[in-house]
Every structure is written in structure tokens, then in C-alpha cells.
């Protein structure tokens, strides 16, 4: 197979896969401006987390922090790790790990609360 033929085959394959070389996208994902917007949303969520440490929200403090943590995790793995555009088995693996990690963390917090009463 000649180099010219191989290049034509690769270009045809890219065209069928929806990959354009000059559209500003990163293969499968967002444009550069899309990534900037996601980064700004993540920065806003982080600022909200920091602000929560200065505001007395009572017993809602930990659930709000956990909720923000989950939202940030899903956002990062969906866009920056391209999980949104990959096979759904990868999503299942990541979200199962997230569920298990949060469950272990909550169990540890409950254990500390239980033993603190003695």
C-alpha cells in the first residue's frame, strides 16, 4: 500500500467518523471555548465551596459540600476526561467508584459521630 493510498484511506475513515481537522474541536469533545466555559463553571463551584466554609448553614454544611463534590466530579470526568463521549461502560465504572467512595466516606463520618458520643 502506498503512502498516498494510506493517507486517502485515513482521511476517508476520519470523514466517516465525523472527525474534521479544521473545525476547532478536539476529536470528540468540546471546542476550546467550551472547555473554558466548563473551567469557569468549575471555578464558580469551587468558590461556592470555599464560601460555604465562611457561612453558617448548620447541618446542611456537609450535604452541600458532598453535593458540590459530586457535581464537580461528574463535570470533570464528563468533559475533561471525555467520559461523556466514550462508551457507557466507562461511565458505569467511574460512577460506581464514585458511589462506593462517597459511601465509604459517609460510613467513616458516621463512625466518628457514633464513637464521639462515648
71 in Cβ contact with 45 (< 8 Å): yes
Q: What is the pLDDT of residue 4?
A: 52
Q: What is the pLDDT of residue 7?
A: 47
Going from N- to C-terminal start, the domains of the chain cover 1-30, 31-116
Give the three-class secondary structure for 31. Answer: strand
Q: What is the pLDDT of residue 20?
A: 43
The grid cell for 79 is 468533559
What pTM, to 2 d.p., does this model score? 0.67
At residue 21, φ and ψ (nearest 5 deg) are: -85, -15
- In tens digits, what is the pLDDT along the chain, a chain of 118 residues? 455 554 454 454 444 444 444 444 446 778 999 999 999 999 999 999 999 999 999 989 989 999 999 999 999 988 888 888 888 898 899 899 999 999 999 899 888 876 666 5
Q: What is the pLDDT of residue 96?
A: 94
Q: Which residues contact 91 (CB under 8 A, 6 or more apart)?
A: 83
Amino acid at each position: 500500500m502506498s503512502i498516498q493510498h494510506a493517507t486517502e484511506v485515513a482521511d476517508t475513515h476520519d470523514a466517516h467518523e465525523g472527525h474534521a481537522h479544521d473545525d476547532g474541536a478536539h476529536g470528540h469533545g468540546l471546542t476550546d471555548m467550551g472547555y473554558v466555559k466548563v473551567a469557569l463553571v468549575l471555578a464558580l463551584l469551587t468558590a461556592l465551596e470555599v464560601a460555604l466554609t465562611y457561612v453558617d448553614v448548620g447541618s446542611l454544611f456537609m450535604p452541600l459540600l458532598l453535593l458540590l463534590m459530586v457535581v464537580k466530579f461528574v463535570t470533570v470526568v464528563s468533559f475533561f476526561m471525555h467520559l461523556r463521549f466514550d462508551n457507557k461502560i466507562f461511565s458505569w465504572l467511574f460512577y460506581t467508584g464514585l458511589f462506593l467512595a462517597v459511601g465509604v466516606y459517609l460510613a467513616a463520618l458516621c463512625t466518628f459521630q457514633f464513637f464521639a458520643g462515648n
